[in-house]
Amino acid sequence: MKLILLFFIGYPLLLQAQGQFGQVQGYAGTSLFPSSKQKLLSGFSPGATVGGGISKTFKEKFVYNPNIEFSAASKEHYTFSLLTLHNNVKYYPLSVKKIRPYLMAIGNISFMNLHQHPFSTTSVPVASYSGTAPSDIPVNEITYREPDLKLQFAPTFGLGAGIGFDLTIKLKWVPFIQYSYVNYFSRSSGLINRNFQDNTSNLSIQNISVGVRYNLYVF
């Protein structure tokens, strides 16, 4: 809880200090999820991601780039959203003029919202299956009714990596394209597991984003 409070207190202060960082950016893209109907936090349809942040260059080839990001997606019976505070470090291995590729290390804290809408499923038991009271009545069909469940603002940590490149056509405005993969340690979250006891896996998200970076001090 103390760590979460530090993020909430520190991030607005960090955003207010954007003038010291020198660059601001915004981006949008598509979120992709592993396809598996057997796992609670996977198999979502491709979703949308939007984000923005600031950045500062240090030691020439390294850039510190904190971002605030929002993602949303859905699948059958479920809707999902994620508010993420990213702390990214980018490394530019090559010094080129027009296209600057980079590698990215990602560490974050996210707040998850997950809504299970009420639904029913049916199954056909084996021929020898019968009721328990009395036990000689045959059962042709079993109906399972799932309740309405809502999980709101559940914190979870994530680590990931990414690649991308800047298009340095103009010094003031710098378009960029990037791919990232982040694994969230949601399987170890007591809050998530108490609300959804069938959670057996971590959440993982792949993002493909395009955006633009604005250099404050270039005229």
| Domain definitions of the chain by residue range | 22-117+149-215
> Does 141 score more than 70 pLDDT?
no
> Does 173 score more than 80 pLDDT?
yes
**What is the rounded distance in angstroms from the CA atom of residue 60 to the CA atom of residue 114?**
41
pLDDT of residue 189: 73
Residue 218 — pLDDT band, cuts 50, 70, 90?
low
> Does 38 score more than 60 pLDDT?
no
3 state SS of 35? coil
Residue 14 — pLDDT band, cuts 50, 70, 90?
very low
CB 75 within 8 A of CB 46: no
Residue 79 — pLDDT band, cuts 50, 70, 90?
very high
Instruction: Specify the range with the lowest mean pLDDT, choosing from 40-44, 62-66, 126-130, 148-152.
Output: 126-130
pLDDT of residue 12: 47
CB 131 within 8 A of CB 108: no
Q: Which of 171, 186, 120 is nearest to 147 (CA)?
A: 120
Q: What is the mean pLDDT of residues 56-71?
A: 90
* Angle at alpha carbon of residue 102, lines to 100 and 107, rounded to 5°: 150
How much of the chain exceeds pLDDT 70, in percent? 72
pLDDT of residue 143: 64
Residue appearing with tokens 């992709």:
32
Q: Which of 212, 205, 109 is nearest to 156 (CA)?
A: 109
Range with top average pLDDT, 80-84, 124-128, 165-169? 80-84
CATH: 2.60.40.10, 2.40.160.20, 2.40.10.220, 3.40.50.300. Which one for 22-117+149-215? 2.40.160.20
Radius of gyration of the chain (CA): 23
Cα–chain-centroid distance for residue 44?
Answer: 12
Where would I find the beta strands (DSSP E) of 47-194? 47-58, 62-75, 78-91, 99-116, 119-123, 142-146, 149-167, 173-184
Instruction: Find out whether the peptide bond into 155 is cis, omega within 30 degrees of 0.
Output: no
Q: Which of 76, 53, 79, 51 is nearest to 64 (CA)?
A: 53
Residue 138 — pLDDT band, cuts 50, 70, 90?
low
Q: What is the mean pLDDT of residues 21-44?
A: 83
Q: What is the mean pLDDT of residues 90-103?
A: 88
> Does 144 score more than 70 pLDDT?
no
CB 96 within 8 A of CB 102: no
> Does 98 score more than 60 pLDDT?
yes
